């Protein structure tokens, strides 16, 4: 049974040691560098070789055909198809609110400053596949890109042992409006998106979650292309009081523990009886899960139940941890929302399990992990946009500011910068424009 820790006798640092969790696996990095090098040099040939090595399947045509997509949709249960469509609508409604407007500033006579927001031209999205299917990840990546106005979206996902992509993945892609789908995954797939091959185009940005090899590849190609984030193991932190039910909280913790043995499921509670109840419920529920071995290992390695002095302390510790998912399973959760400083997503109340955000509510489930919620945000429409500033000065406006600009430039030792301004006023026959 999971031990109940007490904040009175055990410090935050003793309970949460992220430094040990974040050590880079240099052997994995070495392998990924070699994979990326081969993809860059040999393109599609390397992709086919790595797909055979890692996925156990020989792929001739990397591109998923229109017939394959059509046939896959026909095999998906109609009810599930309607659920995916409704989830897509919810995601669109929420993300439409994220669109930024262009703006101009005209506060000085003869001066116009402005910013225009433009979509990136080509986005590459990674969807985990092979032994598991994540149609939700298709929607969460593609819909914000579409709303941003991205002209072309390329999706890659690993094939199954039979060389096909799961029907539900292709159905979600169709609903999200993706046409270019390729049967490739792993670090080699990231390399294909970053460098381009004979078949797969080079993209401007790569988004989407993946395993440690995918995350490492994204980190290594950053700069060659943009990426959304370097996602680590999934996390849930539940702040709960005596109003919570132990079976609910345990189930919510296990919803993340089943992802990965490295996932973190944490409970901070002011109630000893709840802490004890959750510890018992974890033992009761784990054996009934199809992924019970993974869930148990996660709970034993990374699971925490901590008795805290107050909700204020719970929120303080939560903000230090900066979880991917934060559940406030407490009375009057909105009164405490203002104390949240660092979290990928917050779930308010005893009837809002994290799975709502994963699949259906409409917020994005691609969230910062590993404490990066301290400085980063969920995937959004803005991730698929870039901003360009513009400046216009009339001659008279530049003349008013020229000496200030020259002084600033020369203070940095950049005299040519200053000269580019002053030269415009050395002759009297300069035109206005």
For the annotated catalytic residues, the residue numbers are: 324-325
Give alpha helix (H) positions in 76-158.
78-96, 135-148
Length of the chain: 433
384 to 203, 221, 272: CA distances (angstroms): 12, 18, 46
Nearest partner of 339 among 318, 315, 357, judged by Cα:
315
Question: 26-42 and 186-195 helices cross at what angle (nearest 10)?
Answer: 50
CB 299 within 8 A of CB 2: yes
Element (H, E) at 327: strand 325-329
Rounded-to-integer distance, Cα 374 and Cα 10, Å: 24
Percentage helix, strand, coil for the chain under 3-state DSSP, each rounded to 5: 45, 15, 35
Q: Dihedral, CA atoms, 396, 401, 402, 403, nearest 10 degrees?
A: 140
93 to 44, 295, 325: CA distances (angstroms): 38, 34, 21
CB 234 within 8 A of CB 262: no
Element (H, E) at 19: helix 18-21
| CA gyration radius, the chain | 26
Q: Is 321 left (phi over 0), alpha (psi -120 to 50) or beta?
A: alpha
DSSP labels, 239-270? EE-TTS-HHHHHHHHHHHHTT-TT-EEEEEES
CB 213 within 8 A of CB 31: yes
Element (H, E) at 40: helix 26-42
DSSP labels, 91-106? HHHHHHTTPPPPEEE-
Nearest partner of 353 among 246, 235, 238, 232, judged by Cα:
238
């Amino acid at each position: 049974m999971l031990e109940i820790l007490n904040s009175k006798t055990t410090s935050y640092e003793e309970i949460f040691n992220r430094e040990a969790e974040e050590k880079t696996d240099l052997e994995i990095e070495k392998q990924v560098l070699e994979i990326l090098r081969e993809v860059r040099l040999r393109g599609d040939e390397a992709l086919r070789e790595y797909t055979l090595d890692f996925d156990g399947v020989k792929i001739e045509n990397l591109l998923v055909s229109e017939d394959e997509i059509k046939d896959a949709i026909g095999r998906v249960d109609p009810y599930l198809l309607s659920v995916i469509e409704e989830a897509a609508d919810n995601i669109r409604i929420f993300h439409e609110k994220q669109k930024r407007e262009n703006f101009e500033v005209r506060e000085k006579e003869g001066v116009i400053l402005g910013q225009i927001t433009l979509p990136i031209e080509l986005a590459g999205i990674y969807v985990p596949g092979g032994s598991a299917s994540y149609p939700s990840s298709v929607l969460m990546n593609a819909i914000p890109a579409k709303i941003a106005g991205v002209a072309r979206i390329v999706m890659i996902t690993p094939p199954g042992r039979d060389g096909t992509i799961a029907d539900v993945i292709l159905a979600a892609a169709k609903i999200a409006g993706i046409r270019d789908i390729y049967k490739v995954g792993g670090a080699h797939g990231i390399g294909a998106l970053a460098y381009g091959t004979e078949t797969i185009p080079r993209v401007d940005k790569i988004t989407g979650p993946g395993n440690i090899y995918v995350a490492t590849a994204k980190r290594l190609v950053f700069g060659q292309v943009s990426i959304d984030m370097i996602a680590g193991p999934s996390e849930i932190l539940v702040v709960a009081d005596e109003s919570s039910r132990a079976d609910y909280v345990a189930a919510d913790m296990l919803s993340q523990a089943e992802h990965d043995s490295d996932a973190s499921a944490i409970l901070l509670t002011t109630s000893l009886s709840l802490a004890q109840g959750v510890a018992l419920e974890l033992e009761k529920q784990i054996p009934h899960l199809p992924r019970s071995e993974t869930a148990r290992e996660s709970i034993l390695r990374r699971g925490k139940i901590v008795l805290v002095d107050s909700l204020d302390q719970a929120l303080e510790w939560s903000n230090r941890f900066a979880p991917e998912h934060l559940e406030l399973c407490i009375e009057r959760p909105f009164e405490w929302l203002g104390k949240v400083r660092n979290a990928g997503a917050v779930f308010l109340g005893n009837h809002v399990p994290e799975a709502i955000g994963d699949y259906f509510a409409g917020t994005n489930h691609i969230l910062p992990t590993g404490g990066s919620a301290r400085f980063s945000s969920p995937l959004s429409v803005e991730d698929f946009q870039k901003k360009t500033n513009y400046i216009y000065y009339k001659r008279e406006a530049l003349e008013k500011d020229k000496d200030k600009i020259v002084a600033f430039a020369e203070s940095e030792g950049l005299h040519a910068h200053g000269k580019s301004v002053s030269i415009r006023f050395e002759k009297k026959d300069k035109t206005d424009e």
